[in-house]
Chains A and B, each alone.
Chain A
């Protein structure tokens, strides 16, 4: 179908899965006639009708909570939450129920649902529209966390997420929604969950990143020989791919836009320290946001790791 952006790829994935599987429904706010605040569900109401593309009350707890019941009953709800910060109202439902029902019922009930939500900095929105708190979800056993980085993997990963038998938090970088286009095949294909992609091979520095920052990490790498790993899935993540690469390069820089303290980079860093310490030629560095809440639009570029800061980290590990 030629070059499309991430919004179109998401739309295409939803459409293709809904055609294939009649138990897939989409629920959310303004997803019907309006096509969603980012237009990811545009045209789907006409195609699938109001029993499968369902506009709901403004109620994030209600969306996630009812999705638990829908999923347990046998449907496959894809929940659209307009912005990651709005999902906080539904966190108890994610943590106390969606993540645990398989375990609490010893496999009798399951929760195959997807929560799609835009995350991260980049579109100059009002407050609390730029959250990047993926680490909260990564800390919770029972959920999976997926972060696509381009239209091709967005479509393939979303199809995999919908088919997955467990709840998946699907984080779509709002900055990337319309800023990159790529070739996306028509119809049905999957990109497997839990597998990283080696974006670029290299010998000197392993760079681990996800979402928006994958592109910045790559841009900063022009003068370095970096092996860039796009994790794509954060829970469960491809630990093997990271270890393999670190064993080759001996250096690791983790680039992400969330607060560095307690972020997902800490997990990657600790894991490599445990598994591949003897291969390291220098310290593991994390390039991430400062230990402060995300500012509003005027300061967000100062908050987000810049190309310069990433380059500085590459230089530091090379000169160590």
Chain B
């Protein structure tokens, strides 16, 4: 009788810039100053979009909204790593990804106002409508990446989901397929520690979400999600590997949701103020600012200028969203099938929706 070790895994955690803003130059790789400024500007823009969305919700101008506050490092770091032709499958908490990919903010506001036209990505932008049923978008990413593999395209697909989403069967089946067929996919788990009121420790007894990747035959890595540089680097490496035929990667972006789950939630019911306050001190903008200051890339005037520009851009988007003509009720039927059925045509006539 023998006992053999069949597999050992090492679960890595990547951090490039620490909480004091000091970078490990060896890990950082070729990230130029212009890109660092883009991270900063994109975080400010996403945060401004987010803050205004929360105010608009309080004023009754948009519906329920899922805040990204605290997760901008994970969102912007990954979003800026994509190529134009990559495909992105977001959940409902990725406003920062969409905004920094150039998705029109007016359309995003429109979506949160309850208008499907907001989820029609502009032509040429391969961003799927954000998925509301948790985790169900994971196999879509695998499928698109599988299509890329079958067609020999040099692109990759990526999907965002949360720590809650990692408990779904969709996670298992989506990653399992991806591993078997070695598709060019990147699975981005935004572990923000809370699935509404249920903490990460109740989602899984696994020490990390990252290590689950190894069970599917793919590399899994945990990344400090509040370190935008580390997130960018890990995502870029995974995308490059995917495009080169190296298969999929699971990236756990370790972050924290500073706001309630959505505007309909009250997180004081289930987590302590102290916990939230502690994480407020670790949010991604503070760290990036410290890092940039050390590099001489940040000044108060620079930030004021960026914030002012972001506010103007967001204001313009809100005006555009609110000025959009009401959607046509016929759209309810129009997009069910490529061609309306005889029954639908009859209903259009009965409802007075026929032009």
Contacts and interface: CB of A to CB of B under 8 A. Distances in A.
Contacts of A92: 133, 136
30 contacts: A51-B150, A57-B177, A62-B142, A62-B173, A64-B139, A65-B136, A65-B142, A65-B174, A66-B139, A66-B143, A69-B139, A69-B142, A69-B145, A70-B143, A72-B143, A73-B87, A73-B143, A73-B144, A92-B133, A103-B116, A104-B116, A104-B129, A106-B116, A106-B120, A106-B331, A108-B123, A141-B336, A142-B336, A194-B342, A239-B343
Interface in B155-183: 157, 169-170, 173-174, 176-177, 180-181
Interface in A52-70: 54, 56-57, 59, 61-62, 64-70
Interface stretch (A93-101, A222-230, A250-258): A93-101
B120 A65 contact: no
A103 B335 contact: yes
B338 interface: yes
B147 interface: yes
A109 interface: yes
Nearest to A110: B338
A101 B119 CA distance: 10
Interface residues of B, number: 44
Given A61-B139, A65-B143, A105 B338 contact: no
Contacts, number: 134
Given A66-B142, A70-B143, 16 more contacts: A57-B173, A61-B169, A61-B170, A61-B173, A65-B139, A66-B139, A70-B144, A96-B133, A101-B129, A103-B336, A105-B119, A105-B128, A106-B116, A106-B120, A164-B338, A236-B341
A240 interface: yes
B294 interface: no
Contacts of B145: 69
Contacts of A64: 139
B146 interface: yes
Query: Which 4 residue pairs spanning A and B have beta carbons closest together?
Result: A69-B143, A65-B139, A62-B173, A66-B143
A68 B143 contact: yes
Contacts of A215: none
Contacts of B180: 56-57
B140 A72 contact: yes
Interface of B, helix, strand, loop or mixed by DSSP: helix
Given A61-B173, A69-B143, A69-B145, A142 B121 contact: no
B242 to A, nearest CB: 15
Interface of B: 87, 89, 116-117, 119-121, 123, 128-129, 131, 133, 136, 138-148, 150-151, 157, 169-170, 173-174, 176-177, 180-181, 331, 335-338, 341-344
A241 to B, nearest CB: 11
Given A69-B145, A70-B146, A103-B335, A62 B342 contact: no
B270 to A, nearest CB: 27
A134 interface: no
B177 A72 contact: no
Contacts of A96: 133, 136
Q: Number of contact residues on A: which range applies? A: 35 or more
A72 B176 contact: no
B335 A93 contact: no
A74 B146 CA distance: 11
A25 B170 CA distance: 22
A73 B147 contact: yes
Best-buried of B89, B173, B180 by chain A (most CB within 10 Å): B173
A270 to B, nearest CB: 12
A74 B150 contact: no
B86 to A, nearest CB: 12
Given A75-B147, A236-B341, A65 B138 contact: yes
Contacts of B147: 69-70, 73-75
B140 A102 contact: no
Contacts of A72: 128, 140, 143-144
A109 B169 contact: no
Contacts of A107: 120, 335
A29 B148 CA distance: 21
A97 B144 contact: no
A165 interface: yes
A144 B338 CA distance: 12
Contacts of A166: 337-338
A73 B133 contact: no
A56 to B, nearest CB: 7
B337 A108 contact: no
Interface string A160-190: 0000111000000000000000000000000
Contacts of A57: 173, 176-177, 180
Interface string A140-172: 011010000000000000000000111000000
